[in-house]
Structure 1
Amino acid sequence: MEMDGSKRVFQRLGPSSQGDTSNNKQQKVCFHWRAGRCNRFPCPFLHRELPGPPQQQQHAAGNGMSSSKRPHGFSDDNRGSGMRRNPNFNNTWGRTAAGGGAVVRKTEKVCNYWVKGNCTYGNTCRYLHSWTTGDCFTLLTTLEGHQKVVTGIALPSGSDKLYSGSTDKSVRVWDCQSGQCAGVVNFDGEVGSMLSEGPWIFVGLTNLVKAWNTQTGTDLSLNGPVGQVYALVVGNDMLLAGTEDGILAWKYNGSTNNFDPIKALTGHSHHVVSLVVGANRLYSGSMDNSIRVWNLETLECLQILTDHTSVVMSVLCWDQFLLSCSLDKTIKVWAANDSGNLEVTYTHQEDCGVLTLCGMHDSEAKPVLLCSRNDNTIRVYDLPSFSERGKIFSKEGVRRIEIGPAGLFFTGDESGQVRVWKWSTESSSTS
């Protein structure tokens, strides 16, 4: 048995021009060489394109013999061989006629090697070397520190600090000028939600809501919730919390400098995971697949919306419409009918579950919708057309999107990353 490895390499490369050509085989061009990143030396495959099919040539008069076929893969010199390269051959590999550059059709997936900083394909890589598509926005910085899902982001008015909460049982304080972590507040339970209202920051924990005033230093504990607090919102001078057991309402008492419990809003049969206030109404989305509409004056339920078939992850008020998203892969737009009740006027179908919605305005003051999906992307849509402006990619699903001043917005994902984005002033309204 032949054990000499050099013999096998010789057979792959083909015989020399002086050797026996009876065993000559079709050669292969190195795939990595074509991509511009072959680092094998010697490489067992060709670092050149294959020539076209050889033509039979006659030797000089008098020898009476036809020339043998020229072996592939050795010299680039075709003089006297009678062979020509196919001028269209290179184009089949996406190369332009001028400059030898590559035209690569990108796959809409971020390159894992680029993320780690060691992709050798460069511009020829078929995966994205960017966290975005389109020209809508720019990634300013990434804030690292949380070890688990980011569940809340808050930017109190008048403060130069950004606050982020996570299921790693901590709230991190970030300096808005340097992007450095300025402090960490640890809790006994997971942070399920956060909210900033004026100078106040509210943190939803397990069986508790913490409230502190960033200007006065007041630190309060609001008891009453049962289980995890998943959502917080302020409306009609009340603080409302969505919990495992329903919705709780508090009202601030200036004389005691405290929040007094008002009422528990019951009716949902499962956890309340999203809340929004608009037009003197409170809208609550739940794991029971429903949305409830509450009167903020009486705190009574006015209507139950049951068009979703899975968890209602987020609700958003925009103009006279209510938008909702769900793990049932839909975004629904609701509007009031003649009787004043909400009904679905449009359903936007996604190809995976939707985690959260956030509305903002672009650099031209046009309304856009940021839609985080559980395929680790955020889709950016023009409203009301739902035409796509671009995508944001993340390591894991984005659970929180918060709007900041001057075109800034913040995202927090399941890996613990908080990212700071800015809407581009040079972007076009279409893409």
Structure 2
Amino acid sequence: MDFDGGNKRVYNRLGGSTGGGGDSRNQKVCFQWQAGKCNRYPCPFLHSELPTSNGNGAPSKRPYSDNSGFSGNRRGGGSGFNTWGPGRGGGRGRGGGRGAVGGGGRGVVVNVEKVCTYWIQGTCSYGDRCKFLHSWSIGDGFSLLTQLEGHKKVVSGIAMPSGSDKLYTGSTDETVRAWDCQSGQCIAVINLGGEVGCMISEGPWLFVGIPNFVKAWNTQNSMEISLDGPVGQVYALVVINDMLFAGTQDGAILVWKFNVAANCFEPAASLKGHTRGVVSLVVGANRLYSGSMDNTIRVWNLETLQCIQTLTEHTSVVMSVLCWDQFLISCSLDKTVKVWFATETGNLEVTYTHPEEHEKNIVLIFSLTFLVLRFAERGKIFNKQEVRAIQTGPGSIFFTGDGTGQVRVWNWISEPAANSTQ
């Protein structure tokens, strides 16, 4: 086999030998290794980038964690072992930037923006010598606890009813799965006969949006109710003041009022105005905010159920809306996050726009500084496909569900008080 294939097979990173009469091949990086295809052992060429200097001639080292899997937070500031069973995440590369690791005068520069595809498949043979990330996340703000496998398609809803020791997940595979929070095992699968568009919990109630219906279960007494009226898929749900709001495919927001005496939900109103599907709902400051595929956000008075303002600054689908302190935060497929603030007249205006150009399979974790409205990136979560559901849990736990049907359980690590300016 020809090991000296010139520029076709290898290339010299520094333009030649470092001198000393050594073998010049030691200064060449294996082209096949760069492509992730080299199967020669031993290989006469470098399976690494050359070491990066830290300014004083010494190689720099990248931070990394071990491959022991579920081990909680090893950097301090968070809990260790938890009740979510053995983790299958972990991996090295949680540092906040690029770095190098290696010995014997050689090092590896890690590309922290790309997860190793061979590591994902469990077949990467390079370990710490691999130049791609062996981790589902980077950043010190969180750690992966475990992964829940079972759904066959997109995870579109995650909920944990209060007082329950079970986590519920809904998917476009037309099922809802119940997971035991102690073992992390799936203990029930409910077939709904329709794709789950969204899922929320309020008290002991679990609400699931499917085409033309909202399913409601009381997890304490097993009571089940089917609420009809929606036209098409139900994309968003929210509960406030004993009222259930459902954002639907035809642009309407349907409202049901809970009748305590009859222990049932009764139709109350239908809010019209959006011209396309309503995909996000949130309540704050006695207002209902709805984001839509028509690129707008509508503001509704909860007492009169009338639209009092329409926000048109986004140029694509408004995927999520969030109330934070006295601000409204919206995220759109136009690749911007907008922060809205009420003027003296009471109308909302954009006070800050944060652009994002990252790939759709990355979840960015930010801390938002109140005084200067600054988004400070705390880390990234990588996924095989885009994340369609994010839900907070008890304590410091939060959950993500992606397009492959995988649910991940994360531990959130609070920022040190000394770094907080809120």
TM-score by length of 2: 0.76
1:383 alignment partner, SS class: strand
1:135 and 2:135 are equivalent in the alignment: no
Mapped partners of 2:219, 2:284: distance in 1: 26
CA gap 1:224/1:125 in 2 versus in 1, 3 angstroms: same
1:238 and 2:243 are equivalent in the alignment: yes
Runs (5+) with no aligned partner, structure 2: 7-22, 48-57, 60-98
Which of the pair has more CA radius of gyration? 1
CA gap 1:276/1:168 in 2 versus in 1, 3 angstroms: same
Mapped partners of 2:395, 2:349: distance in 1: 34
Answer with 26-35 or 324-333: which moved more: 26-35
**What amino acid maps onto 2:275 in structure 1?**
S
CA gap 1:46/1:220 in 2 versus in 1, 3 angstroms: closer
Percent identical: 62
Show the counterpart of 1:395: 384
1:123 alignment partner, SS class: helix
Show the counterpart of 2:336: 330
2:120 alignment partner, SS class: helix
1:247 and 2:236 are equivalent in the alignment: no
- The offset of 1:198, in angstroms, is 0.2
Q: 1:334–1:345: 8 Å Cα contact kept in structure 2?
A: yes
Mapped partners of 1:146, 1:429: distance in 2: 41
**What amino acid maps onto 1:213 in structure 2?**
N
**What amino acid maps onto 2:261 in structure 1?**
S
- The offset of 1:424, in angstroms, is 2.9
- The offset of 1:321, in angstroms, is 0.4
Deviations 1:101-160 (A, max 9, x none): 514242411111111112122222221111111111110110011111111001000000
Mapped partners of 2:100, 2:167: distance in 1: 48
Mapped partners of 2:106, 2:377: distance in 1: 30
CA gap 1:284/1:97 in 2 versus in 1, 3 angstroms: closer
Runs (5+) with no aligned partner, structure 1: 13-25, 49-89, 353-373
1:189 and 2:178 are equivalent in the alignment: no
Show the counterpart of 2:55: none
Mapped partners of 2:193, 2:376: distance in 1: 44
CA gap 1:131/1:335 in 2 versus in 1, 3 angstroms: same
CA gap 1:42/1:282 in 2 versus in 1, 3 angstroms: closer
- The offset of 1:298, in angstroms, is 0.8
The RMSD of aligned alpha carbons is: 3.2
Mapped partners of 2:339, 2:29: distance in 1: 50
- The offset of 1:99, in angstroms, is 3.8
Show the counterpart of 1:370: none
1:267 alignment partner, SS class: coil
Mapped partners of 1:338, 1:122: distance in 2: 58
Show the counterpart of 1:165: 170
Mapped partners of 2:367, 2:330: distance in 1: 16
Number of aligned residue pairs: give it: 350
Show the counterpart of 1:413: 402
- The offset of 1:100, in angstroms, is 2.9
Q: 2:209–2:234: 8 Å Cα contact kept in structure 1?
A: yes
Q: 2:156–2:198: 8 Å Cα contact kept in structure 1?
A: yes
**Structure 1 consecutive aligned stretches of length 4 or more whose deviation exceeds 2 Å:** 8-12, 26-43, 45-48, 94-101, 424-431
Of 335, 355, 361, the residue aligned with 1:376 is 361
**What amino acid maps onto 1:408 in structure 2?**
I
Show the counterpart of 2:40: 40
Show the counterpart of 1:279: 285
Mapped partners of 1:10, 1:388: distance in 2: 45
Mapped partners of 1:96, 1:229: distance in 2: 49
Answer with 124-133 or 295-304: which moved more: 124-133
**What amino acid maps onto 2:368 in structure 1?**
L
Alignment of 1:25-104 (within 5 A): 28=25, 31-32=29-30, 40=40, 45=44, 99-104=104-109
